[in-house]
Amino acid sequence: PAPAGLPGEPDPEEAVSDDSSRHGGRVRGFPHERGNWATHVYLPYIAQEEFLELLELLVSRARSYVPSLAAMEEFHLSLSQCVVLRYHWIEPFVRSLRERLAAFHRFFCVADQVKVYTNQNKTRTFIGLEVSAGHFQLLELVSEVDGVLEEFDLPTFYKDPSFHISLAWCVGDLSGRLEGPCLRELQDIVDGFEESAFLLRIQWEQIRCKSGNKYFSFPLR
């Protein structure tokens, strides 16, 4: 999963503090350097009121196992890892993305399988909804995004990705507490939620790239 609250810079020459206490205890995946912009490509998900009701049920139940769990405030499905772009690379990077993604059409996927994740350095744990249908279309998108990343000699996406929408997170590796009985209870809530079949069948309409504090949108046809 991409980090919650990706670090960014208001200005390419302005230094940024690495005080983790300002970010709920989150730790950067890489050290900040002036002129480096954290960059991430993803599909944005706009939460409906019913989705937030489901989220509240899930987080409330999961907090009986991990009290420090916090609900996500924004939702997305990642198509890249969080990578580092130099400031002068942003414009050509976005231009290349736009060219490669121009031919893609809108599509549906289903994200209805509760799963627990940790980030690569095990500093955070996430509860997410994994995609159970629409995997092929997502792999096609990732292939094009990977092509752009390779142009700039940046890390590509995971080889066998588990596409998902993160719902909640906590600091540290607490996956052991959330898996097993907790995970089964959360899946029961999703399966029994009245609106889940409608809510969790998602039509993707645009791709976004976030680089520092800049956002770029790529509408699907």
Active-site positions read 76, 164
Residues recorded for the chain: 221
Cβ atoms of residues 109 and 140 within 8 Å = no
Side-chain half-sphere exposure of 70, counting CA atoms within 13 A? 13
Closest CA to 131 of 145, 121, 146, 141: 141
Backbone torsion region of residue 113, taken as left when φ is above 0, otherwise alpha when ψ lies between -120 and 50, otherwise beta: beta
DSSP 8-state symbol, 10: S
Q: Report the alpha-carbon distance of residue 140 to residue 159 in Å, rounded.
A: 13
